Amino acid sequence: MPFATPEFEAEWSPLLRRTIDGYHVEVMHHPPHSDAPVLLMAHGLEEGWQVWLPMARLLMPEFRLLLVDFPWRAHNDYGWSETLPPSEWMGEVVRNLPIVPDAIVGHSFGSNATLEFLAKPNAPLIKAAVLTSPFYRSEPSAITWDLFHEGVANFREILSAGLRVRSGDKRIDPEIFERMVDRLLERVGPTGFANLFRLFSHAPGIRTDRIISPTLIIGGVTDETSTPTGIRELAGALVDGRVELLPEYDHFCQVEQAEEIAQLTAAHLREHLFMPHQALLGMGRAAA
């Protein structure tokens, strides 16, 4: 993925690798270690750990980044979903890391996996979170057949946009590009969409009252994927949620608007990462 120079990508190395039923998850880090706050970064569907590299240049060395390569990465099949749900894959990572992350930053599918993980009764204390382009509806009645069919109709466009971002500055003949999208859609198949919609449709059941981590939710005024309404609903459902809706916004903001998203992320984390644990736990008791 041409998100950074080959030289910068080569500076990253594996910190952790877990394999379950033939499917693996890997955590990449950038030595040397430092005592900076630790950020775990969770990519979206059909992406990969490299998608965070444009932001990584801007967030280091103030933060120590752990870029996770989840099994919902590009070019993989979807058998991983029969092994563990997305939030449990994240749990496998966090439980086996040598250090508990101070914060989690997620994008799209990774944002929703983060939500489900943070809402678990046995989740570790995460001091802050940043969610870009999450999918959310607060009421089960909002998960309708119309929404399902709309999602199916838009799925190709989402995959196409992601492929275009991964292609970077390469000039590809439009007809060739459309054939590439066709092949991608064929590989991902209905199972890929079913996993996306499953995570989305479970959103109304997430125990957001358990998520005490101060959470910044970033979206766009015109983003039809996460929608401003859904983002505001999510912020209102959280114990400490804040919304940043940008007038100019790309769903793949961590690549296309890396500087702006990195600035918002860093500002939120600076504000909350040094909050005493007792104060954070007090927020949870007050919300209970």
CATH of the domain at 72: 3.40.50.1820
Q: Residue-wise over 94-113: b if at least 16 C-beta within 10 A, else e?
A: beebeeebbbbbbbbbbbbb
Tokens 């997305």 locate to 86
| Cis peptide upstream of residue 204 (ω within 30 degrees of 0) | no
| Nearest CA among 214, 248, 245 for reference residue 228 | 245
Residue 122 lies in a domain: yes
Is 47 within a domain? Answer: yes
Q: Is residue 1 part of a domain?
A: no
Beta strands 128-132 and 215-220, pairing class: parallel
Give residue 221's pLDDT.
Answer: 83
CA distance 105 to 65: 10
Cα radius of gyration (the chain) = 18
DSSP summary character for residue 140: G
Mention every residue, 6+ apart, whose C-beta is less than 8 A from residue 237. Answer: 136, 138, 208
Query: How much is the pLDDT for 2?
Result: 52
Give the pLDDT confidence of 50-102 residue by residue, as tens digits: 999 999 999 999 999 999 999 999 989 999 999 999 999 999 999 999 999 99
Q: Is residue 141 in a domain? A: yes
Instruction: Indicate whether 49 belongs to any domain.
Output: yes
Q: How many domains does the chain have?
A: 1
Residues 6+ apart with CB under 8 A from 61: 34, 36
pLDDT at 275: 60
What one-letter code names the amino acid at 287?
A
Q: How many Cα atoms are found within 13 Å in the side-chain-facing hemisphere of 202? A: 19
Domain around 166: 6-287
Half-sphere exposure of 24 (CA within 13 A, CB side): 8
Cα–Cα distance, 176 to 262 (Å, whole number):
34
Exposure class string for 239-276: b at 16+ Cβ within 10 A, else e: bbbebbebeebbbbbbbebbebbbebbbebbeebbeee
Q: How far apart are CA 76 and CA 262, in angstroms?
A: 28
* pLDDT at residue 1 in the model: 44
In a domain, 208, yes or no: yes
Which residue ranges in the chain fall short of pLDDT 50?
Answer: 1
pTM for this prediction: 0.90
